[in-house]
Amino acid sequence: MCIRDSSDRLLKSTVALSGILTVLHAAVDMKNTLLGKHHYLMYFLVCAIKPNMLITIDEEGNQLPVTVRVGKAVDTVGQAGKPKTITGFQTYTTPVLIGYGERAELATDEYLPVSNTLEGIVILKVNPDSKDAKDKEEAKSAKKVGASFSRRADLTW
């Protein structure tokens, strides 16, 4: 198991830390480095810039707007059988930015994530046991059937 997966990205990146340390080291002699000919060393700060976001896609790679809850990351709490990993959440539709110390979870059981951590780009699969997914499938099939009847009615008069 990777440390990155088990910490939910609460640990900072070594690449980001090296970019910050490079600029700090160059700032020791600010007049001759950053304020002089070597102003391009500020670009090392780009290594430390990475927004924490959540984008959901389906198995074909199409963006999928899904309702998610974003809240403060806590250890698993809640009733038996309904564990929660966040507290004080707000509900959003993806794509969404996640702040420091926050975590996201899916608001409905309509989709199942392929990965354990809901950060970055996450692939979602339709949950075959979901009540919402079954209702949507029934609505789609009824809509297709209704559309075919309406076309036939237009042709008969």
pLDDT tens readout for residues 26-53: 989 888 888 889 888 888 888 888 778 8
Query: Sign of dihedral through CA atoms 12, 15, 16, 19?
Result: positive
Indicate yes or no: pTM above 0.85: no
Question: For residues 36 and 91, what is the distance between their CA atoms, to the nearest angstrom?
Answer: 48
Strands 53-57 and 102-106: unpaired
Backbone angles phi, psi at 107, to 5 degrees: -80, -30
Structure tokens at 37: 């000919």
